[in-house]
Amino acid sequence: MACRICSGRLHPFADFGSQPLSDAFVTPGDPGAEFFFHLAVGLCESCSMVQLLEEVPRERMFHAGYPYLSSGSSVMREHFQSLAKRLLTTELAGPDPFVVELGCNDGTMLSVIADAGVRHLGVEPSGGVADLAAARGVRVRKDFFEAGTAASVLAADGPADVVYAANTLCHIPYLDSIMEGLDTLLRPEGVFVFEDPYLGDIVQRASFDQIYDEHFYFFTATSVRGLARRHGFELVDVERLPVHGGEVRYTLARRDARSPSPAVAALLAAEEAAALTEPATLHRFAARVADTRERLVRLLTDLRDQGARVYGYGATAKSATVLNYCGLGPDLITFVSDTTPAKQGRLTPGSHIPVLGPEAFADPYPDYAVLFAWNHAEEIMAKETAFGRAGGTWILYVPEVQLV
């Protein structure tokens, strides 16, 4: 197996077996066969990029029925609003600025830019969410971003001051084409800003459920700097973010256009000191994951045998890995509650647990709820205090199996 970035040798370190597509919710009674692939992760021995070993064709994941909505969390709405406001007063403060967002989804970030009257374009291949963005006044192109798209955006709109991508770059295996597109589209002094789950947080918290079909890469400052340099760019800033269980926001600029901030050297040094991409560290991570599976299965089996009522909270893409890797089904978790309209009334991929709207969660409350949307724990626990008052207990499995 060869690295998708540099063709170096991949060192596999965690294997989750056969898995369904994480966002392919099943219609009850639909005889259509589900698509499965082999979910396993490896480390490139040359460039240190951590990546999936098997690539799922992009059209199977990102299409008109893609269900995920950026606006599903109030914390994320505020997060994108504050990022948009910051860009407007910094990178986009010059004359007639232009910003492009890759994977703009339902327009949660770009609608702030549109409301400010600033030139923008969202590039979003999933038609359903792109339509939601357009309905909010966002200019969207229904397309996958890659080198060819960049050339046609440049021809139509001219160069961009900023290209931004949240939780999207790590979804894209073909980064050589993306980097070529950025080189085409960005002004000489333009920047590429992107944020994705951070391998440092995944390893520290043993948050193995960040590993699923759509998350192809697990970035570090070290691997991102290497990627940037291969394409004439430099990593000039990094910022740790608390959202989605721990992310890093990376800023790339053309080589020699800007000097790197001290935060870059600090994060590179921290990664080195933690031996983050040493095989031994990643094998320890895999051992913790196996332990989590054993404890979670034992807990849920005991609860079922005791006659406890157990629901799931948040039919996240992440939960597909937990449910299928641990072999959890409707015998252990009656249903999963989720606010996303396109997930409700359907079954979780592979594990076939019904997904119901949030009103079902309180009717009546369960004895236990597995918090699959643990990355939104603060927001969810703040609004679900009645569950605790009714005697309910949360089950968490990151960083380890615990009752709260």
What is the SS3 assignment for 269? helix
User: x-or-dash pattern for Zn ion, window 5-24, by CB under 5 A?
Assistant: xx-x----------------
How far is it, in rounded angstroms, from Cα 70 to Cα 11?
33
| 173 interacts with Zn ion by CB under 5 A | no
| 166 interacts with ligand TMP by CB under 6 A | no
How far is it, in rounded angstroms, from Cα 185 to Cα 157?
10
Phi, psi of 264 (to 5 degrees): -65, -50
| DSSP calls for 189-238 | EEEEEEEEEBHHHHHHHT-GGG-STT--EEB-HHHHHHHHHHTTEEEEEE
| 324 interacts with ligand TMP by CB under 6 A | no
Segment near ligand TMP (CB under 6 A), from 122-130, 139-147, 186-194, 313-321? Answer: 313-321
Q: Which of 87, 109, 226 is CA-nearest to residue 160?
A: 87
Segment near ligand TMP (CB under 6 A), from 132-140, 185-193, 229-237, 333-341? Answer: 333-341
Nearer to ligand SAM, 123 or 303 (CB): 123
Q: Which of 62, 84, 61 is CA-nearest to residue 136?
A: 84
Strands 368-371 and 355-356: unpaired
* Single-letter residue type at 327: G
Burial of residue 269 (CB within 10 Å: 0-12, 13-18, 19+) is: exposed
Tokens 């590179």: give the residue: 268
| 227 interacts with Zn ion by CB under 5 A | no
Segment near ligand TMP (CB under 6 A), from 4-12, 29-37, 300-308, 370-378? Answer: 370-378
Phi, psi of 197 (to 5 degrees): -55, 140
CB of 306 to ligand TMP, least distance (A): 26
Segment near ligand TMP (CB under 6 A), from 150-158, 221-229, 286-294, 335-343? Answer: 335-343
User: x-or-dash pattern for ligand SAM, window 120-149, by CB under 6 A?
Assistant: ---xxxx--x--------------xx----
| 81 interacts with Zn ion by CB under 5 A | no
| Beta bridge partner(s), residue 61 | none
Looking at residue 27, what DSSP letter applies?
P
* Single-letter residue type at 7: S
Candidate residues 47, 83, 121, 238; the one interacting with Zn ion per rule CB under 5 A: 47
How far is it, in rounded angstroms, from Cα 68 to Cα 336?
16
Candidate residues 39, 375, 392, 394; the one interacting with ligand TMP per rule CB under 6 A: 375
Interacting partner of 103 out of Zn ion, ligand TMP, ligand SAM, none (Cβ under 5 to 8 A depending on kind) = ligand SAM
Interacting partner of 339 out of ligand SAM, ligand TMP, Zn ion, none (Cβ under 5 to 8 A depending on kind) = ligand TMP
* Single-letter residue type at 15: D
Segment near ligand TMP (CB under 6 A), from 116-124, 171-179, 232-240, 374-382? Answer: 374-382
Q: Which residues bind to ligand TMP, rule: CB under 6 A?
A: 72-73, 314-317, 338-340, 343, 373, 375-376, 379-380
Binding positions for Zn ion, rule: CB under 5 A: 3, 5-6, 8, 44, 46-47, 49
Q: Where do contacts with ligand SAM occur on this chain (CB under 6 A)?
A: 62, 66, 68, 70, 102-103, 105, 123-126, 129, 144-145, 166-168, 171-172
